[in-house]
Structure 1
């Protein structure tokens, strides 16, 4: 059975991943499920995350349909780092190993929006806080090869 038959992939990388994956479907459900090996699960920890980890998490949420593009706006804004030295150019997230507390960034943003009476930003950040509170500690992926 080909899983990707009739499916349109908006990104070339998705199609390549689908083509390289094993498309067979198990027909027997009698085999017991085994728990992942200890340490094989990464968990969301928004209190200590790099900008790239946050971007990867957001992209996964969007591609899985669990987050809309509108809901992703505050997260993407928090992952930007503008360099004064490069005259306002963004510093690449991939090369930044600094860990940030994104929950605190959202709290600070909420406080700022309240002080400015900015209802639009306040609602957006409160929604972002609810999203990460639901996702905190959840498994991000399971490494089945371990």
Structure 2
């Protein structure tokens, strides 16, 4: 990466989906333990590891985050790659969520995104705008 850029940073977060129907079940027991093997309770997004440029810290933090994820059997991960389907602005209407995404970071003190059930998914244009702002 050093040959490509001098400003390389990596972070880590995980997600399942919006904690509302039709994205997840309404059964609170299944939300608390969605898998027979004991998965993590349902949540929208969780910040796992802050952006870092220090390779040794990065490796330690990434391995720690992955170990925690595996330990809780998190169903989906997002490290600029995912095994999940793609949602975009308007999909939230299926759950009655019509407030547009404001593009802000709304993490609670435990690192969970707390506007998942209040704001729609971001539009592609909003993602593009935010990426350009952070360049």
Regarding TM over 0.5, the answer is no
- Band of TM-score, shorter chain: under 0.3
Richer in strand (by share): 2
Select the structure with the greater relative contact order (CA < 8 A; seq sep ≥ 6). 1
Whichever of the two has the greater Rg, that structure is 1
Using the size of structure 2 for normalisation, the TM-score is 0.24
Using the size of structure 1 for normalisation, the TM-score is 0.23
